[in-house]
Amino acid sequence: MDKKLDLYYENQKDSSKLIYTLGILWAQIVSKLDNILAQANLNTSKFNILMIIKHIGKEQGIQQNEISKRLLVTASNITKLLDKLEKDGMITRNAKENDRRVKLIKITDFASKLLDDIYPSYQQEIEKITQNMQNSDVQLLNQKLVEWLTIIK
């Protein structure tokens, strides 16, 4: 057990401790970011989807399966989130010109402006979360996590 953080580590291997700590850390980060995003009636899942549509799909749009791949979530979970975003007027689904079976997801002007408005607060919260870390530590940790990601992918 880590007394400072009240993490339960008893009889755990280092690899299990790492995964457990990452899970706890991610849950706390999401909670803090969701507090910011709630001001725009968003959560981290919706925000991430909208950011992918806006910055990767751009004007031409993006296919649903591409969003799923980038977020590492199932197609059924993406479908539910996209249904909610469409109902809220944040995205549109349009048939691809040469293949009507394929739907291209596009962000609406309303949602694009919403992202632009909320992003400074979102980024400020991220800076707050990492404020006590040295920049070199942030860079090293990111490098190691990316290396790990490429190994397990």
The residue ranges of every structural domain in the chain are 14-129
How far apart are the C-alpha atoms of 85 and 90, rounded to whole Å? 5
Mean pLDDT by 10 residues, the chain (153 residues): 64 87 93 96 94 95 91 82 96 87 93 97 96 94 93 82
Pick the CATH number of 14-129 from 1.10.10.10, 2.30.29.30, 1.10.3210.10, 3.40.50.150: 1.10.10.10
Q: Where are the beta strands (DSSP E) in the chain?
A: 62-63, 91-96, 99-107
Give me the pLDDT at residue 122, please.
97
Give me the pLDDT at residue 5, please.
66
Closest to 40 in 3D by CA, of 112, 128, 91: 112
